[in-house]
Amino acid sequence: MNQHLLPFLGHPVDVEVTGPHLLTGMMVDLGPDITVIYTGEQFVYLPLLHIHSIHHSKSYDGPDTDGNLALPHESLADSISFRKILMHAKGQFIEMNVTGRDSIHGYVTALMNDYVEFYSPVFGTVYILMEHIKFIVPHADKNAPYGLKSVQYPIHPSRIDLSRTFRQQLQKSVGNVVVMDLGHNPDKIGMLRATDDHWAELVRADGTHIQLNIRHIKSFSLPQGLQNL
């Protein structure tokens, strides 16, 4: 458990998170690399890596938990960690914030050394570097997202064999069109021409080439028509 944040456990807090996002709620659990904030409506799982600042809140007007709150991860026997929470989230409908700007909704389908495979009805299969996950919110509603029926929205991993690391998985996609960081930046959409340990070369729609620092690639996916090839 993180000793610096221990005095906040069980108390209302204001938290600034990468994005930026400002959250107010009760800190209801704490592990060595993650904490859980209850906003009064939902549980937000925050990796400590993305907390910029935290202090006692004077504005929280939600319910007092009194230690009686049923936590989504109560089935975990030991103290929580970021990796344990990701494992626990497999197959559950969750919101995951990756870019700091927008969240995606869907399911974790696989957990590798440093990334997760995430299945979304909007983006298809997305490979997300763990260090860029800003927060996770479990959905209380057990139904499939967007009002879809389960038969319309199967939970399944892609047919692509998964590599152990994010860089290796990216290397496997050389020669394919890829969409990085959910496609917000047009410079991160194109044919992946080459990668090494540090850089990825993309050919953009107009034929120009661009080098991208892999450390700043948060996620990537293949267009859905290519995912099962």
pLDDT at 227: 52
Q: Which residue ranges form the domains of the chain, and what is each CATH number?
A: 166-224 (2.30.30.60)
Say which residue the tokens 């099962």 belong to.
228
Q: How many CA atoms lie within 13 A of 195 on its CB side?
A: 22
pLDDT at 177: 96
DSSP, residue by residue, 47-58:
EGGGEEEEEE-S
In sequence order, the 6+-apart residues with CB closer than 8 A to the CB of 116 are: 86, 108, 110, 127, 128, 130, 133
In sequence order, the 6+-apart residues with CB closer than 8 A to the CB of 4 are: none
pLDDT at 104: 93
pLDDT at 92: 87
In sequence order, the 6+-apart residues with CB closer than 8 A to the CB of 205 are: 186, 189, 190
pLDDT at 229: 44
- Tens of pLDDT along the chain (229 residues)? 678 999 999 999 999 999 888 999 999 999 999 999 999 989 999 999 999 999 999 888 877 766 667 888 877 767 899 999 999 998 888 999 998 878 899 999 999 999 999 999 888 999 999 999 999 999 876 667 777 776 555 565 566 689 999 999 999 999 999 999 999 899 999 999 999 999 999 999 999 999 999 999 999 999 865 554 4
Q: How many CA atoms lie within 13 A of 59 on its CB side?
A: 7
